[in-house]
Chains A and B, each alone.
Chain A
């Protein structure tokens, strides 16, 4: 019987894999599933940048799109879709290309220019929007739901994913013609040599490896309390409030999931929010809500000992592929630790 079932299982597995391998990928469907969440169904952007027709026709080659899908933008939200097959990536690129029909023809050549001169030009012309070090504006994509510095946030130019995808010719094309829809001006006043200097300066950022910091593998921050259950809760609330957070009413972890008389009253979550910080963070990452609100849970054990438990913020930061958020979460992790230590003082 068991052997029979095993054979059946592997037959099913084989058929399923064969079916998946043989089916021709549907670019529209794949785009809808993998890309539209951030870029919109029509490519007008949102969390992600717009992939508008003008850009597609003028500067975004199929190779650029393929590499962008494969490598993503490390630290700038766009993930690297490493598990998609080549056929799937090509299907997505073909679907995007169908919006304009033709692929731009950009010459394949490596620019030579003066790095130092390029640096000066970058500082004068580009750094206001893209940052002195080319990291891009605060946040990403197109502004829709809250006020931000730009309608379309200037992309990070020192990003290894971007630099691997963009050719020198594409960089020159964007510098010379700008991107009117995003507010990027056309730098037509620059000479060919000055454009080349700028391209060389931007290209110089490539291959400076940005290794992610090793992950602290502790699933949570757990601190033994020196106080009783209620005292710990009160101490925590006082300390959180003193750190400029608004405190929400206490909630037992099980509240809303069991009848009131069945709820475990020895697991209480202290929830808090600093709305200024929240507003700023939502402008950097609109999906931040998936880890809200800031919280520390106080648990009393059967032996009467009390623990304070909070999430590993370093891990949470990593989920978002967002370098700006990572820095803020590192600070938040420190604040969280200080709060728990202070509550224990």
Chain B
């Protein structure tokens, strides 16, 4: 049965985009999208570790910029397990999504976890990367659908 599930996961994996970066455009203000993103991450069982305010840092240093934040998230036990067992994964943990404004829209982007395949041949990690990809892609798609473009 486990083999079947693995096959199913591989099938599902090939049905989604495999670019290095995942990206979604949302027709809403960044503050609203940030709120929705946090809710969706929690719905999917993730904890938000912290939020990096890149825009604030840039503005403090005298640069003009739009809204730009980075959300760090993980499932705590996964983070602990993977960082202890595979220390070379530490630089890529926790997962991150950048959320930034572009004109009247908000963009959310993240590294496609599956792009780390090249670096981590271990089957356990590769399966985990696919699960993360499915989750992140699901979250981004759901957020996009919540804010349809008015035509």
**Interface residues, chain A, CB within 8 Å of chain B?**
2, 5-6, 9, 13, 16, 20, 32-34, 36-38, 40-41, 46-47, 79, 83, 144-147, 215, 217-220, 222, 246, 251, 253-258, 264, 267, 273, 275-276, 278-279, 282, 286-293, 295, 297, 299, 307, 309-312, 315, 318-321
Contact = CB atoms under 8 A, between A and B. Distances in A.
B83 to A, nearest CB: 6
Residue among A246, A257, A295, A321 with the highest chain B CB neighbour number at 10 A: A257
Interface residues of B, number: 66
Interface of B: 1, 4, 7-8, 11, 15, 17-21, 23-25, 27, 47-50, 52, 54, 57-58, 61, 63-66, 68-70, 72, 74, 76, 79-80, 83, 87-94, 96-103, 105, 107, 109-112, 115-116, 118-120, 144, 149
Contacts of A46: 25, 102-103, 105, 107
B25 A287 contact: no
Contacts of A320: 20-21
Contacts of B23: 37-38, 47, 287
CB-CB nearest 7 A-B residue pairs: A289-B98, A256-B49, A311-B91, A319-B20, A37-B23, A219-B119, A145-B66
A329 to B, nearest CB: 13
Given A257-B76, A309-B87, 18 more contacts: A6-B4, A34-B17, A37-B24, A37-B107, A46-B107, A79-B19, A146-B64, A219-B119, A257-B94, A286-B102, A287-B21, A289-B99, A291-B111, A292-B98, A299-B87, A310-B91, A315-B118, A315-B119
Contact of A292 (B54, B61, B90): B54
A282 B63 CA distance: 12
A319 B117 CA distance: 12
A278 B49 CA distance: 22
A145 B100 contact: yes
A290 B98 contact: yes
A217 B65 contact: no
A264 B84 CA distance: 10
Contacts of A276: 61
A47 B112 CA distance: 18
Contact of A9 (B4, B52, B68, B98): B4
A217 B88 contact: no
A318 B4 CA distance: 33
A46 B101 CA distance: 11
A41 B119 contact: no
A33 B17 CA distance: 10
B103 to A, nearest CB: 5
A287 B21 CA distance: 9
A32 B97 CA distance: 20
A144 B66 CA distance: 9
26 contacts: A46-B102, A46-B103, A47-B107, A145-B68, A146-B65, A219-B116, A219-B120, A222-B88, A253-B90, A254-B83, A256-B48, A257-B47, A267-B90, A278-B57, A279-B63, A286-B100, A287-B23, A287-B98, A287-B107, A289-B54, A292-B96, A310-B91, A311-B91, A311-B92, A315-B118, A320-B21
Given A253-B83, A275-B57, A275-B63, A13 B21 contact: no
B37 to A, nearest CB: 13
A221 to B, nearest CB: 8
